[in-house]
Structure 1
Amino acid sequence: MIHTLLVLLACQLAGEAAARLLGLAVPGPVIGMLLMLGILVALPRFAALARPTAEGILANLSLLFVPAGVGVVGHISTLGTQAVALLVALVVSTVLAIAAGAGAFVLVARLTGAGDD
């Protein structure tokens, strides 16, 4: 488990270093994730060894939301004064996300020739 976590953190560190040194617009963790994907594809034996660690991390993923919850509670007064703006931003972004998803679906349906028979 320690070795898998070490490889995971090394990939993230390499991604961060690459993003900063090369001035890329892509976040370092995304580059690290792609590097980890490459390792998992290239080394199936490592993928099998990493599976228990990955399952353990995923089983406890809800713990990663605790810091976000603490941050929300810590800034509850700010949230109260900005409630209307936050609500408008939430509703508008939700509507735009649904519209973008529907537009992408329609575009793909047209490109693939799927009709509404």
Structure 2
Amino acid sequence: MRHFMTDKTKPVSIRLAKSEIDQLHARAYTLSASITGVARDLIRTGLAGGDNRALADRLMLIERRLVALEQQDQEISAVVQSIDRTARDLLAMFEALLKALTGESTGRAA
């Protein structure tokens, strides 16, 4: 895909309702930009796949990915909890074995 800025440009004339022109004026004022610049950016965004349907499709895909990540997070959390319990059990057994080997459980001095 070629970059817009390196291509030669040609003027385009479009007709808009007064309310749409007012919206362009308001947006241009908010952005401290020209009306032509705002219109050009809106058109380029639409041409680059920024239309509502494409955005809705992307949002749906993102939502599906988030759901999948949440499920993976829950699975990983369960595994981590299981590993934590196992590690605590092993530590308790190790401490009991250490006490038994050092004679602390029978009261003998080491």
Q: TM-score, normalised by structure 1?
A: 0.31
Q: Which has the higher contact order (CA 8 A, sep 6+)?
A: 1
Q: TM-score, normalised by structure 2?
A: 0.33
Greater helix content: 1
